[in-house]
Amino acid sequence: MASQESAAAVAAFTLSNHVQASFFLLFRIISMGVSVVITQNLGAGHRSVADATARAAIGASGWLGLISGMAVSIFPSNLLLLLNAPSEVLPLAVPFLEVLGIALALDSLNACMGAVMRAHLHSRDTFLNMMSMHSLHLIMCVLLMQGIGPIQPTGLIGFALSAAVSRLFAVGFHLVLWRWRLNLIPTLQDWWTVRWKLLLPVLHIGLPGAAENIAYRLSLLATVAMVANMGTDALAEHGYTMQIMFFILVFSLSVGFGSEILVGHLVGERSLHKAHRLVVHSVRIGILVSLGMSLIAVFSASWSLAFFTSDPRIIEICTQLLWIAVVLEPGRALNLIVINSLRACGDARFPVIAGVASMAIVMAGGAWLLGVYFGMGLIGVWIAYTLDEWTRGFIMCWRWWSRGWLPAARATHRRLIRQRSGA
In a domain, 420, yes or no: yes
Of 92, 110, 99, whose CA–CA distance to 164 is shortest?
99
Distances (CA, A) of 161 to 103, 130, 390: 8, 17, 38
- Is 152 found in the same domain as 5? yes
In this prediction, residue 386 carries a pLDDT of: 96
- Is 285 found in the same domain as 233? yes
- Is 307 found in the same domain as 378? yes
- Is 236 found in the same domain as 183? no
Domain count, the chain: 2
- Is 297 found in the same domain as 340? yes
- Is 234 found in the same domain as 179? no
- Is 46 found in the same domain as 146? yes
Among 194, 227, 247, residue at a domain's last position: 194
In this prediction, residue 420 carries a pLDDT of: 65
In a domain, 206, yes or no: no
Q: What's the rounded Cα separation, in Å, for the pair 137 and 140?
A: 5
How confident is the model over 196-235, as pLDDT tens digits?
Answer: 888 988 888 888 877 888 888 889 889 988 998 888 888 8
- Is 248 found in the same domain as 179? no
- Is 190 found in the same domain as 220? no
In a domain, 109, yes or no: yes
- Is 73 found in the same domain as 163? yes
Of 293, 261, 285, 367, whose CA–CA distance to 334 is shortest?
285
Give the CA diameter of the chain.
66
Q: Which residues does the chain have with pLDDT short of 70? A: 149, 419-423
Spatial contact of 5 and 96, defined as CB atoms under 8 Å apart: no
In this prediction, residue 185 carries a pLDDT of: 92
Among 194, 225, 242, residue at a domain's last position: 194
In a domain, 199, yes or no: no
On the 0-12 / 13-18 / 19+ scale of CB atoms within 10 A, 135 is: exposed
Q: What's the rounded Cα separation, in Å, for the pair 167 and 157?
A: 16
In a domain, 282, yes or no: yes
Q: What's the rounded Cα separation, in Å, for the pair 409 and 185?
A: 31
In this prediction, residue 422 carries a pLDDT of: 57
In this prediction, residue 206 carries a pLDDT of: 83
In this prediction, residue 273 carries a pLDDT of: 93
**Which structural domain, as residue segments, surrounds residue 92?**
1-194
How confident is the model over 62-86, as pLDDT tens digits?
Answer: 999 999 999 999 998 888 888 777 7
In a domain, 202, yes or no: no
Q: What's the rounded Cα separation, in Å, for the pair 139 and 222?
A: 34
Pinpoint the alpha helices (H) of 182-311: 196-229, 232-269, 272-299, 301-304
In this prediction, residue 299 carries a pLDDT of: 93
Torsion angle defined by CA atoms of residues 248, 3, 131 and 51, in that order, rounded to the nearest 10 degrees: 80
In this prediction, residue 154 carries a pLDDT of: 81
- Is 189 found in the same domain as 150? yes
In a domain, 127, yes or no: yes
- Is 144 found in the same domain as 36? yes
